Structure 1
Amino acid sequence: MTKAIQALLTGCAIMASVGVASADPASDRATIDTQIEKTYPALDALYRDIHTHPEIGMQEVRTAALLAGKMKALGFTVTDKVGGTGVVAIYRNGAGPTVMVRTELDGLPMEEKTGLPYASRAQTEFEGKTTFVAQSCGHDVHMAAWIGTAQTLLAMKGQWKGTLMFIAQPAEEQLKGAKAMLDAGLFTRFIKPDYGFAAHVGSGEAGTVVVKDGVTSSNSDSVQVTFKGRGGHGSMPSATIDPIVMGAHFVTDVQAVISRQKDANAFGVVTVGAFQAGTVANIIPDTAVLKLSLRSFDKDVRQMLLEGVKRTANASAAMSNAPAPEVTWLNGTAAVMNDHALAERAAAELKAADGDRVSYLPASAPGWSASEDWSAFVDAGVPSVYFTIGGYDAATLAAYKAKGEAVPSNHSPFFAPDHNKAIRTGIRTLTLAVLMVAEPK
């Protein structure tokens, strides 16, 4: 066997092992874009419908039914109520790898202030209170792109083989929906995928895609601290043990964990997002409840933050000669880790289709400070890539820059990405990623 033939056979074996389906991403992009334009009016209507009618995590009954109906109409085998309100849609197209593509279903408990003609005015009950609900993280973009990706892949099914596993996940914002679906047998009742892909819209320039190697989003931990005091009259504080004072000390002192205990080169955030105590001005309450959000990339930093919060809370109580506080871990998720080899391949594939609109960030670059429970699927053994796609058109970004103002980001009541461009970019990105790993026909 000559070296040339041996090299060719070796290369073919490698290509077969990873399932490279497309030798011409630019040609695929043209086909994808043509298909998008055929279906886009209906996708735009779907986006506006979902945007106007958002639902809180584990309440996404209407949203889940809407997506399940769309997938059934496409010919997918659909199972609903997986892990609460989750949807699993399977489409088999011959022998080949199983590829999972995910969207989230849930909105946020907040009021939208975009002024859009289809802005949400929906309200619901959440944690014992009535709240507005808004799709202020971009999951409405993701859902439209998810449906559009399914439509596009089916229109191109003559050039790939394998199984599509499209999942619509509840309660991503509460960082519990992925685990709920796994606990409900996502990878045992159905099938464990060979690859997984997801994409998230952000506040970058619309039409751009970022592929990050390694750590892509942060560890997240929600912690509740309950300080226990002794209530009494506001005019006689010496007869009380004031939990508000303890909490106030804690809010300030806990930042020393970041500034004085954490390595300055390591990412870490401790945010006190809620401080709940008292009813009126002249009554010292007997408890104060604080809720914290901790973010990190490194597992050792994650542990250090958790220990630092508890140690600082105990010290704040001790200063007031109060009982030890209750420090309760509420929920959390690990950092998302993009597969190195798959991320490199995906970046190359997307660059071949879209040129410099695609950026590749090495593992040494910092990840996204927000968190994502997509990590539960990665930790379950699914090699995957989590993409970030831009949301704002260049003119909007320039206008904010000229005013010296920050662009409204995810979770802002004013978050209003250019959904027309973002949905198209999401479809193109996810479709190319699936074609990259699917078995060629």
Structure 2
Amino acid sequence: VTCLLGAIERLRATTDEWSGTVVAVFQPAEEYGAGSQAMIADGVLDRFPRPDVVLGQHVTPLPAGVIGVRPGTQMAASDGLTVTLHGRGGHGSRPHSTIDPIVMAAATVMRLQTVASREVDPRDVAVVTVGSIHAGLKNNIIPAEAKLELSLRYPDDEMRDRVLAAVERIVHAEAVASGAEVPPTIVTDHTLPPTINDPDATARAVAAFERAFGEGSVVDPGMFTGSEDVSWFARESGVPLVFWFWGGVDPEAFAAAKAGATLERDIPTNHSPFFAPVIHPTLERGVDALVVAAREFLD
């Protein structure tokens, strides 16, 4: 948000140097995957000028000053699921008279780990994460149900179909194995498409970044298994998307961790409570990158 404000201020101050229209989108609810669709449903593409290209960026644990971008799939598609396992509650001293959903949930969580490790080709990408499990209120009461919240990630629709089918099969099979009298409930909380960068537009943006920031300033970070909903703007408009990352980590700290092969341990990532980008030069590069990219596509 800060970088976008800075970029708009810079572009506004130099309107004698370019022509065209810039629409700045301060989108809410990106992490939940609902913000862009809510704006589209509210008529953002009709009430404001429709784009010719959609540009976006996100700070990430690369060295400050470095931009990471690649053509094609930049970020994975994802689904968020809530699974409710229905058991039969009762007294903790009489487990034989119950159908324990906690045991059912534990078995389900362990079996779900085999989807990516045993059903997906190691050369492909898929993630099945159980990020939340809730059941029970007291140590001597076996509850009636258990809830699991899942985060699934994949690069394309074919893998999505395979992973979703495997998850559904396992959830239902573990319920049957536990003697559940009521089938489990699976609810899709959100769905995000893959973030796919247009090859031609990305090549233009990369060339502009390299001219502005110098050789070695742009790297291919590979496909991120995180997800974004910015692509809905481009998909609904039928226009190219260029979405890139820019670094926020102290370059010396990053270099030391890389040299010691401790990047995963010593460099916090997004959503870590320790992720705190250095303000400078992260802020300046974030503003500059947006301005450079915007001016590349303006007259």
Report the TM range for the smaller structure's normalisation.
over 0.9
Given candidates 209, 212, 219, the residue that maps to 1:350 is: 209
Q: Distance in 2 between matches of 1:150 and 1:331?
A: 31
Q: Distance in 1 between matches of 2:239 and 2:121?
A: 31
Per the alignment, do residues 312 and 192 of structure 1 end up closer, same or farther by CA in structure 2, a change over 3 Å counting?
same
- 1:373 maps onto 2:229 in alignment: yes
Give the letter aligned to residue 438 of structure 1. Answer: L
CA contact (8 A) 1:336 1:372 kept: yes
CA contact (8 A) 2:209 2:218 kept: no
Given candidates 46, 53, 59, the residue that maps to 1:195 is: 53
Corresponding residue for residue 189 of structure 2? 330
Given candidates 209, 217, 220, the residue that maps to 2:78 is: 220
Corresponding residue for residue 266 of structure 2? 406
Give the letter aligned to residue 125 of structure 2. Answer: F
Q: Distance in 2 between matches of 1:317 and 1:156?
A: 63
Give the letter aligned to residue 254 of structure 2. Answer: L
CA contact (8 A) 2:71 2:203 kept: yes
Q: Distance in 1 between matches of 2:218 and 2:66?
A: 8
Q: Distance in 2 between matches of 1:377 and 1:307?
A: 29
CA contact (8 A) 2:231 2:241 kept: no
Q: What secondary structure is seen at the aligned counterpart in 2 of 1:203?
A: strand
Q: Distance in 2 between matches of 1:230 and 1:216?
A: 45
Q: Distance in 1 between matches of 2:81 and 2:17?
A: 49
- Post-superposition shift, 1:298? 1.7
Given candidates 151, 154, 172, the residue that maps to 1:293 is: 151
Percent identical pairs in the alignment equals 38
Higher relative contact order (CA 8 A, sep 6+): 2
- Following superposition of structure 1 onto structure 2, how do residues 76-91 of structure 1 map, counting pairs within 5 Å? none
CA contact (8 A) 1:209 1:357 kept: no
CA contact (8 A) 2:128 2:152 kept: yes
Q: What secondary structure is seen at the aligned counterpart in 2 of 1:315?
A: helix
Matched positions, count: 294
Corresponding residue for residue 415 of structure 1? 275
CA contact (8 A) 1:347 1:360 kept: no
- Post-superposition shift, 1:240? 0.3
Given candidates 130, 146, 156, the residue that maps to 2:4 is: 146
Contiguous gaps of at least 5 residues in structure 2: none
Corresponding residue for residue 286 of structure 2? 426
Q: What secondary structure is seen at the aligned counterpart in 2 of 1:223?
A: strand
Corresponding residue for residue 171 of structure 2? 313
CA contact (8 A) 1:218 1:296 kept: yes
Q: What secondary structure is seen at the aligned counterpart in 1 of 2:58?
A: strand
- 1:273 maps onto 2:131 in alignment: yes
- 1:204 maps onto 2:62 in alignment: yes
TM-score (ref. length: structure 1): 0.65
Q: What secondary structure is seen at the aligned counterpart in 2 of 1:370?
A: coil
Q: What secondary structure is seen at the aligned counterpart in 1 of 2:188?
A: strand
Q: What secondary structure is seen at the aligned counterpart in 1 of 2:284?
A: helix
TM-score (ref. length: structure 2): 0.94
Superposed CA deviations along residues 412-431 of structure 1, whole A, max 9, x for unmatched, are 11111112211111111111
Given candidates 378, 388, 397, the residue that maps to 2:254 is: 397
- Post-superposition shift, 1:392? 0.8
Q: Distance in 2 between matches of 1:332 and 1:421?
A: 34
CA contact (8 A) 1:175 1:333 kept: yes
> What CA RMSD, in Å, does the superposition of the two structures yield over aligned residues?
1.5
- Post-superposition shift, 1:395? 2.2
Corresponding residue for residue 244 of structure 2? 387
- Following superposition of structure 1 onto structure 2, how do residues 51-200 of structure 1 map, counting pairs within 5 Å? 143-200=1-58
CA contact (8 A) 1:221 1:332 kept: yes
Superposed CA deviations along residues 80-124 of structure 1, whole A, max 9, x for unmatched, are xxxxxxxxxxxxxxxxxxxxxxxxxxxxxxxxxxxxxxxxxxxxx
Q: Distance in 1 between matches of 2:40 and 2:136?
A: 40
- Post-superposition shift, 1:356? 2.5
CA contact (8 A) 1:391 1:417 kept: yes
CA contact (8 A) 2:66 2:219 kept: no
Q: Distance in 1 between matches of 2:167 and 2:234?
A: 28
Corresponding residue for residue 120 of structure 2? 262
Per the alignment, do residues 427 and 272 of structure 1 end up closer, same or farther by CA in structure 2, a change over 3 Å counting?
same
Q: What secondary structure is seen at the aligned counterpart in 2 of 1:306?
A: helix
- Post-superposition shift, 1:376? 1.0
CA contact (8 A) 1:162 1:438 kept: yes
Give the letter aligned to residue 358 of structure 1. Answer: S
